[in-house]
């Protein structure tokens, strides 16, 4: 074997994935990754519970307060259950970097050496996209939606909202927006795997816009057309960004 062939073989060995794991090894690895993720969630949930009063009072109730919406609790232990739910959800959101890291560490053995170098960057941008979606929902969508809900209807009918329904809308919209804002990262990953191509995304752009409009109507609380448009516009922009990301990642994979 020539020196050149040896160098080439060494390069291939460096680029090849790690030694294949057995099915039981994969299950054991998955179990530990889930445990590490749960530990992070529990720790951040405890921290969230320590600061639960300002979280609820100054953060989650702010959209209702700014819209002059009246809230009421109709269950004896409604606020207790609500506080526990908020603490758990905040704990999950706060531990997202750890959750994404454990997920990518589980996938890492199947990746090549040069691909594993980008795990921390993927974790960072995945977290950033999710938090950007939450921030967009909190600062843009929810104030408009709550203002519309509080002012809509006859003056003879007083709008008073159940705290359970209010929190359900607040939390579901923020989490849904966070998931939707992961579109660029999903595009990057699928393009790396060769499943998605920029040509395919450009070809079905019109279909995607229709789906985006439907998603906007589903994710937006109530029938407020303004909020639907406000959500649809960034989704269309995210789709165009995803095409660009798919193009770049496809070139790097080639």
Give the pLDDT confidence score for residue 64 in this predicted structure. 85
For Cα atoms 18, 23, 28, give the angle at the middle one, nearest 5 degrees: 85
pLDDT, tens digit only, all 254 positions of the chain? 554 444 445 444 445 445 566 667 778 878 888 999 999 999 999 999 999 999 998 988 888 888 888 888 878 888 888 899 999 999 999 998 898 888 877 877 666 676 666 677 778 888 888 898 899 888 887 887 788 777 776 677 777 788 888 888 888 888 888 888 888 888 877 777 677 777 888 887 888 888 877 777 776 655 556 667 777 777 788 888 888 887 777 666 55
Nearest Cα neighbor of 94 from 135, 134, 40 is 40
Give the pLDDT confidence score for residue 186 in this predicted structure. 80
Give the pLDDT confidence score for residue 3 in this predicted structure. 47
- Classified as helix, coil or strand, 71 is strand
Q: Enumerate the H helices of 95-220 as residue ranges.
A: 96-107, 113-116, 119-136, 142-151, 163-180, 183-192, 198-203, 205-219
**Residue 93 — φ and ψ, nearest 5°?**
-65, -45
Measuring CA to CA, how many Å separate 232 from each of 190, 194, 223, 239, 245? 23, 27, 14, 11, 20
CA atoms within 13 A of residue 76's CA, in its CB half-sphere: 0
């Amino acid at each position: 074997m020539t020196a050149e062939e040896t160098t080439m073989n060494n390069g291939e060995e460096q680029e090849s994935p790690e030694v294949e794991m057995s099915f039981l090894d994969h299950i054991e690895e998955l179990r530990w990754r889930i445990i590490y993720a749960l530990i992070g969630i529990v720790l951040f949930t405890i921290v969230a519970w320590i600061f639960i009063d300002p979280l609820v009072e100054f953060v989650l109730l702010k959209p209702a307060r700014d819209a002059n919406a009246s809230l009421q609790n109709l269950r004896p232990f409604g606020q207790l259950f609500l506080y526990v739910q908020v603490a758990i959800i905040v704990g999950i959101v706060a531990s997202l970097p750890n959750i994404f890291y454990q997920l990518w560490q589980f996938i890492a053995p199947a990746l090549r050496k040069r691909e594993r170098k980008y795990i921390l960057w993927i974790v960072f941008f995945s977290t950033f996209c999710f938090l950007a979606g939450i921030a967009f929902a909190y600062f843009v969508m929810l104030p408009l939606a709550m203002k519309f809900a509080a002012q809509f209807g006859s003056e003879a009918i007083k709008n008073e909202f159940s705290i359970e329904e209010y929190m359900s809308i607040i939390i579901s919209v923020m989490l849904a927006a966070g998931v939707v804002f992961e579109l660029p990262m999903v595009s990057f990953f699928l393009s790396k795997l060769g499943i998605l191509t920029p040509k395919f995304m450009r070809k079905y752009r019109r279909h995607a816009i229709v789906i985006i409009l439907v998603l906007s109507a589903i994710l937006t609380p109530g029938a407020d057309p303004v909020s639907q448009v406000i959500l649809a516009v960034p989704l269309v922009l995210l789709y165009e960004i995803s095409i660009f990301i798919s193009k770049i990642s496809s070139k790097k994979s080639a």
